[in-house]
Structure 1
């Protein structure tokens, strides 16, 4: 879809707020701003502010992953993975497609959604493993449903968190399906290193940034 002048200006305003709050360095701000006014389609604008909050937005509540709405939308960077006598890994900053299919045969795979973006709000991740293993790691507040089954193996969800948070209503809805034949697929809720650091800082200073509204 072609982008309008008003859409480009809204993106530019988001970038100005981000650099004023210290979220962007000046050189990156200038690069994104230049790309904003050169953009011709909506798809070119979305990646420029995908990792930034909307100006004036309220920060995420305690224990949640910040900025879920900003992490939904955009073109998928990966729609599947395959491992045969080896392994695969999808982690860090990547965009999950509406359907993501992973297959591991006599091998293993890692799917980490803690820093991922999502092309759409509803996502299906299909995991199939034969004599292998697959690990799906999700943030604590992601809305996840596990519907797979194991044959001479296991397919299930587990958590090592001391406290189970409620799913964030603004998070994507992820459904993990598939089967494990003589192998296993595990879905684990786990905090990222950045979130663990924020929790430690909050324990050291309980009054620091606990659900307050950002300035700007």
Structure 2
């Protein structure tokens, strides 16, 4: 005789942090596409983080287009690189550091992420009457291609990448701008790809290329220190 327990109905299942993050990502896309306004976005965002079951999460995106595709699989932890190893292979895959996937939000304030941190596969950055700085020069990357979705409303977001990184700017500005100030140099083989999306309204998103502050240049990247 087998002892098989019936599965719980889906609405009764407990939601995980990854489930809540996926709902938040869809809400970020919805506000960027103009499907919901900021007031409704903030209400749904608060409800998403408070949700404990699928039954509480499902209504938050019921009226939004389905993303299509299966839930993201949990990636295996990346090996921790040897101390001092700053080659691109050692920096892609998380490098054993926390992914820091929580949104970067500045509402009449500021945020800053710099130094030795990990850029998640998707990072949402919001500046509303505020400003934010994302410095990727010494960062690790959760995967080879990362997406930074920026929403700048009467505020600004500055993104700094090291030489050799491929940057794809897809953001839209309405009385605002997505501005890539520096001319991208040659892409270093094996370097990550950074896709910048979102929208700017009476605000701006600026993408700059600067060499890292470390004394040694990144592997394969041009050494620009002598030119500064």
- In structure 2, list runs of 5 or more residues that go unmatched: 1-75
* 8 Å Cα contact 2:117/2:140 also seen in 1: yes
- Which residue, 79, 101, 104 being the options, matches 1:81? 104
Using the size of structure 1 for normalisation, the TM-score is: 0.60
- In structure 1, list runs of 5 or more residues that go unmatched: 1-41, 54-65, 204-216
1:111-151 deviation line (CA, Å, top 9, x unaligned): 01000000111110001010001100000110110111111
- Which residue, 152, 163, 181 being the options, matches 2:175? 152
Paired positions, count? 145
**1:164-175 paired onto structure 2 within 5 Å:** 165-175=185-195
For residue 193 of structure 1, report the CA deviation from its aligned partner.
2.1
For residue 196 of structure 1, report the CA deviation from its aligned partner.
7.6
Q: State the partner residue of 2:79.
A: 46
Using the size of structure 2 for normalisation, the TM-score is: 0.57
Runs ≥4 residues deviating over 4 A = 50-53, 195-203
* 8 Å Cα contact 2:112/2:133 also seen in 1: yes
- For the structure 1 residues 188 and 181, does the alpha-carbon distance in structure 2 shift closer, same or farther, using more than 3 Å as the test? same
- More strand per residue: 1
Q: Distance in 1 between matches of 2:205 and 2:134?
A: 11
Q: Does 1:113 align with 2:133?
A: no
CA RMSD of aligned residues (A): 2.6
